[in-house]
Structure 1
Amino acid sequence: MEKSQKQAPTEVDEKGKFNRQKNHFNTPFGNNPDELLIEAGRYRLLWAAVCPWAHRSVIVRSLLGLEDAISLGTASPMRPNIDRVDWEFSLDIDGVDPVLGIQYISEVYKKADPEYAGRPTVPVMVDIKEGIAVNNDYFRLTNHLETAWAPFHKENAPDLYPKHLREEIDALSDVIFHDVNNGVYKCGFARSQEAYEEAYDVLFERLDELEQRLATKRFLFGDFITDTDVRLYATLVRFDVAYYSAFKANRNRIVDYPNLWGYLRDLYQTPGFGDTTDFDAIKIHYHLSNHIASDDQKSLNILPKGPDTSNFHSVHNREELSGNKEKFLIHESK
C-alpha cells in the first residue's frame, strides 16, 4: 500500500499570502534561572543542509569554533512521504540519528510538548539528556551562539555581533528577513497572483538596494563579516539554484548583480560558508521534495541539471573595497 501524501499546514491567509508559523521553543540561552544552561556536550543542533534558517546557525557554529561544544545532526533533504510535514534521518545508519536515536525530528518536539501541533522545524537545539527540543528560535539562535556561548568560542573567534553595532545589525536583519529571507518564500508559496506579485516586487526592490549598498562596502557593515551577512548569504547562495525557478523569483539571478555576486563569492570562499553549503541537497529539496505550503507535483520528478556552481570559486576582488587586502578575510577578534 502506498503511503498517504502529507497534508501541509495552511500558513496562507485568505488573500493568498504566506505567513510563516511562529517559533514555539524560544527560551534563550544564558546563566539566569529562567534560561537554558550553557554546557558543552549537552545540546545537539539538528539541521537540514537545504534549509537557510538552519544553515546560518551551522555557519556561525563553524565560524566561532563551537563544533566540539555543540554536536550536529543532519536530516535528509527529502521530506518523508508520510501523512504530515516532517524531517527524517534517512541519511544515517538504520535511519535514526546516532545520538538521539530518533527517526523523525517531530519526536523531540512531541516529547517536549505532547500537544505541539505546528511543523517541526530546523534548526532546533535538543537537550541530549532529556531528548527534548529546547530552542527552535531560528531568528535569535545565531545571536545566542555569538553571545551566551562565548565561553566556548575558539581563540580569536570573530565578533559577529559587536555591541556597538547590535542595534543597526538587528534593524537590517529584520528588513532582510521580511523582504529577502522570507521574501522568496512569500513568492514561492503565494496562492494568489496579487500576493505573488507584491512579494516579488518587494524582494527585488530590496535586492536592488543591497546591490547599491555593497558597491562601496565589502560586507554589509564594512570590512568585517557580521551576523547579518550570514543571514543574507543563506538566501543568496540558494537563489540561482532554487528560488529563481522553483519559487518563480525570476526577475534577476544573483549572478546578474555585479556587487551581490562578488559579495556572495567572497563569503562562499571564506571558511565556514562554502564548506557548509551543499548544492546537491538544496537542488534535490527545492525541486523534488514536497514543500510546506504546496500540494502540486514537482515537475514530474525531474532534477534540473544546472546551473553550474563552479563559478563560486572564481576571483571576486572584493578585498579591494576593504582595508584588509587578504584574499580570505582575517576576522577582527574581540
Structure 2
Amino acid sequence: MNDSVAGNDRPEHSQGGTYTVEGQEFVRDQRYIPTRITRDAVDGFPVEPGRYRLVAARACPWANRSIIVRRLLGLEDVISLGTPGPTHDERSWTFDLDPDGRDPVLGIERLQEAYFARDPEYPRGITVPALVDTQDGAVVTNDFAQMTLDLSTEWAEFHRPGAPQLIPQDPTERAEMDAVMQEVYTEVNNGVYRCGFAGSQEAYDEAYARLFTALDRLEDQLSGRRFLMGERITEADVRLFTTLVRFDAVYHGHFKCNRNKLTEMPALWGYARDLFQTPGFGDTVDFGQIKEHYYRVHTDINPTGIVPAGPDLTGWTTAHGRESFGGDPWGGGTPPEPVSAR
C-alpha cells in the first residue's frame, strides 16, 4: 500500500508503509480496494454530491494530492474533507485534531472503523486517502491513483466554473501524461522511499542513483518548459509537487536523499515554488504536520522521535520567475476561490 498506512498484515512497518524486503530493497504493497465512484454506478457507488467524505491526512503526500485535486476542481461543497492528525499508531490514523477526537461527520475515532465497516476482517493496512460513504460509514475506495483521475472525469458535472482540465482530452497527450506520471511515481514519489527504507548499502546505493538520475532528467526538462506537460497544470504536476514540497523538509535528511537539496536544483526549485504559490497547492501544505509525521512515526529510522527545527522554509514564497515561459496555468480557466473552512 502507500506510505500512509497504519495497522495490519505488514512484513515490515515504516511510518506507516506496508512493504516487503526483497534483497533488502523496499517494495511497496500496491493492493488497494478497487471500487470506484462513477456516473454509471457500475460498482454500486454513484456520483452523488454530499454523500462521500474524503479522509486525507495533510502530512501524507499521497493524500495531499487528493486534497489538491479536490480544491483545484472546486469540489469542496460536493465531497467533504476529514483530516486525521499527522501521526498514527499500529492500528490506525486517528482524528485527534477534531473535538473529542472524533470525525464530526463519520463520528469515528479511528479510520480503521470505516475499513472494518466495509470488511470486519480487512487484512491490510489502513491507508489515506480514503473515500468513505457517509450512508453506512464504510470505505468505498483507497485507490489513491485512480481516485484523483475519477475526481477529474466522473465528477466533471460538479466542477466549479473555470476549473482546470487536469486530464488531457487528446488521446496522444493523455498517453504522454500517463507515461510521465508513471515515471514520476516509480522514480521519484516511490524513489525517496526506496532510499529511506533500503535494507542494505547496495539497495540504498541503487535507489539513490535511480532517484537522482530521474531528478536530473526532470531538472533538464523543466529548464525549458513551465510545467511537466507544457504551458498548463495537469495531474502530472500535482503528483510531482507533493514529493518536491517534502524534499528538503524530510526526504533530504530523514530518507538520506542528500546529494543536494531541492533549493540547489534551479529549475525544479523554481517549478516547485511556482506551484506552491498557485492557489490549490501551497495552501494545502502544512510543513509542521509533515515533519511531525515522518520524524515521529518512523521510529525505525528516527528512534528518538526528535523533530528537527530546520530547514528554513521561507524561500517557498520568494519570486520564481517561471512566468517567463509564458502559457496559462489554468488553461483558459480560473484559480479557485480562497481556502474555506470546509
Match among 245, 255, 268 for residue 260 of structure 1: 268
2:205 maps to a residue whose letter is: E
1:243 maps to a residue whose letter is: Y
Aligned to 1:3: none
Aligned to 2:176: 168
TM-superposed CA distance for 1:16, in Å, is 1.2
TM-superposed CA distance for 1:53, in Å, is 0.4
- Report whether the alignment pairs 1:23 with 2:31: yes
TM-superposed CA distance for 1:28, in Å, is 2.2
Mapping of 1:238-277 within 5 angstroms?
238-277=246-285
> 2-side partners of 1:146 and 1:168: how far apart?
17
- Report whether the alignment pairs 1:305 with 2:314: no
Q: Secondary structure at the match of 1:184?
A: helix
> 2-side partners of 1:272 and 1:211: how far apart?
23
> 2-side partners of 1:120 and 1:147: how far apart?
26
Aligned to 1:54: 63
- Report whether the alignment pairs 1:316 with 2:320: yes
Aligned to 1:159: 165
Per-residue CA distance 1:167-212 (angstroms, 9 max, x = gap): 1111110111011001111111111222111111111000000000
Q: Secondary structure at the match of 1:13?
A: strand
Match among 74, 86, 94 for residue 88 of structure 1: 94
> 1-side partners of 2:198 and 2:259: how far apart?
17
Q: Tell me if the contact between 1:219 and 1:263 (Cα under 8 Å) persists in the aligned partners.
A: yes
> 1-side partners of 2:182 and 2:246: how far apart?
19
> 2-side partners of 1:281 and 1:188: how far apart?
19
> 2-side partners of 1:252 and 1:166: how far apart?
32
Q: Tell me if the contact between 2:39 and 2:155 (Cα under 8 Å) persists in the aligned partners.
A: no
Match among 73, 76, 80 for residue 67 of structure 1: 76
TM-score (norm 2): 0.89
> 1-side partners of 2:71 and 2:41: how far apart?
28
Q: Tell me if the contact between 1:16 and 1:190 (Cα under 8 Å) persists in the aligned partners.
A: yes
> 1-side partners of 2:49 and 2:134: how far apart?
11
Per-residue CA distance 1:64-114 (angstroms, 9 max, x = gap): 00000000000111113xxx2421111111111111111111111111012
> 2-side partners of 1:254 and 1:22: how far apart?
28
Aligned to 2:16: none
> 1-side partners of 2:120 and 2:132: how far apart?
15
- Report whether the alignment pairs 1:130 with 2:136: yes
Per-residue CA distance 1:40-85 (angstroms, 9 max, x = gap): 00000001111100000100100000000000000111113xxx24
> 2-side partners of 1:143 and 1:92: how far apart?
29
> 1-side partners of 2:124 and 2:163: how far apart?
36
- Report whether the alignment pairs 1:118 with 2:151: no
2:322 maps to a residue whose letter is: R
TM-superposed CA distance for 1:297, in Å, is 6.2
2:24 maps to a residue whose letter is: G
Q: Tell me if the contact between 1:126 and 1:134 (Cα under 8 Å) persists in the aligned partners.
A: yes
- Determine what percentage of the aligned residue pairs are the same residue: 49
Q: Tell me if the contact between 1:56 and 1:231 (Cα under 8 Å) persists in the aligned partners.
A: yes
**5+ long unaligned stretches in structure 1:** 1-5
Q: Tell me if the contact between 2:55 and 2:84 (Cα under 8 Å) persists in the aligned partners.
A: yes
Which region of structure 1 is more displaced relative to structure 2, 182-191 or 55-64?
A: 182-191
How many residues align? The count is 318
